[in-house]
Amino acid sequence: MPGPGRARCRWARRATLVWLVLSSAMVARDATAAALRDNLYDVKALDAREAWAVGTFGAIYHTADGGKTWQARESGTKSALFGVDFAGRRDGWVVGKSGLILHTADEGATWTQQTSPIPVQKPLFKVRALDAQTAWAVGDWGAVAVTHDGGKTWEDRSLPDDVVLYDVCFPDAEHGFVAGEYGTLLVTEDRGTTWVKRPVGTEKTLFGVSFSNPREGWVVGIDGLVLRTRDGARTWEVQRGAVEAGSIEELGFLEALKNPGLYSVQVAGRYGVVIGDTGMVLTTADGGETWTRRELPGKQQLVWMRGASLAGGPEGFIVGGSGFTARVEQDRIVLPAGSDAAAAP
């Protein structure tokens, strides 16, 4: 029988998966540019003005004006889409429910389904494109897939363990990192030929991972957890939250609200952003040495966010529930016109 930490992680895992399914069913699709209502799970910033976002019911959206307007693109599916990444502007991938993999080679004008080696019972949650030929995808039940030929063929590299893998990051072609439940952090230093597990000092679920170079990185997870490494994931320091597992009763309800789950972290140079549940946004302007919470205005204080992407610098995008989008401008979070005011700088 698993201990309290593992049991809590298991609960968080299954609760998250159930939540994804339920939220997909509760939100109606609106494909117009005027009103985003789909739950959005991931975003990829190409530059300060252009980005792609994906979400429920096969939703794919594109903005070229800094998020002022978003245009729906036909995906060819009604399945939930959880991850998106591009190698440059032309070549991109989207992954989602039932091991789904979509690809574009024409700047997102058309999307085609590629043959996935992952069984349909395994959703894929994240994809990372190293270049136009190489991409990695990870998901539930230890799902790992890689292509080295632009998606003509995908290889199943799944783990033998029943573990949810939520995020994957490659700061360069040699070094990669995968984060998941039970405090799982997998590391490769040989282009993914071999992967080894590195301890992070906790069994809590890790939802997001970001490395600005092969040595400096961050992982985020449940209970507001933020961990940092300066030596390629060999040792970790706690920047926020606690590595020990505790029940809601032990933490107290108000304390739990102060430390909601964190789902994505992105650091580029001196700037970075972390996002999560109940309007939780953290930013850094000193290379991740310190993190400052940014209060979202009005009703946005309860919004959940799942995707964040910086365009190689201080600007980027955030997406979340019920069509939530926001721009990152250095260490400010700016909401679209008509959705209250910008977050405090």
What are the domain boundaries of the chain? 4-334
- Tokens standing for residue 73: 């693109």
Say which residue, 89 or 29, is predicted with more confidence: 89
- State pLDDT tens for residues 181-200: 999 999 999 999 999 999 99
**Starting at the edge strand that comes first in sequence, how are the strands of the sheet with 206-211 ordered?**
206-211, 217-221, 225-229, 237-240
The DSSP output letter for 66 is T
Cα separation of 228 and 199, whole Å?
A: 13
**93 pLDDT tier (thresholds 50, 70, 90):** very high
Residue 244: predicted pLDDT: 86
- State pLDDT tens for residues 275-313: 999 999 999 999 999 999 998 988 898 999 999 999 988
Buried b (16+ CB within 10 A) or exposed e, 302-313: ebbbbbbbbbee
**331 pLDDT tier (thresholds 50, 70, 90):** confident
Side chain identity, residue 93:
W
**44 pLDDT tier (thresholds 50, 70, 90):** very high
Average pLDDT, integer, range 167-175: 97
Q: In 10 A of CB 103, how many CB atoms?
A: 20
pLDDT(59) > 80: yes
What's the pTM? 0.88
- Tokens standing for residue 218: 């961050």
The residues facing 274 across adjacent strands are 265, 282
- State pLDDT tens for residues 250-262: 555 556 667 899 9
- Tokens standing for residue 95: 């992954």
Pairing of strands 144-147, 71-73: unpaired
Pairing of strands 185-188, 196-197: antiparallel
Cα separation of 306 and 277, whole Å?
A: 8
Average pLDDT, integer, range 205-228: 97
The DSSP output letter for 288 is T
Average pLDDT, integer, range 32-43: 79
The DSSP output letter for 343 is P
pLDDT(344) > 50: no
Q: Which of 22-36, 206-220, 251-265, 306-320 is predicted least confidently?
A: 22-36
Residue 259: predicted pLDDT: 85
Residue 7: predicted pLDDT: 37
CATH 1.10.8.60 correct for 4-334: no
Cα separation of 185 and 220, whole Å?
A: 11
Residue 104: predicted pLDDT: 98
Residue 274: predicted pLDDT: 98
Residue 157: predicted pLDDT: 98
pLDDT(225) > 90: yes
pLDDT(21) > 90: no
Among 217, 180, 177, 207, CA closest to 305: 207
Angle of CA points 18, 81, 153, to nearest 5°: 120
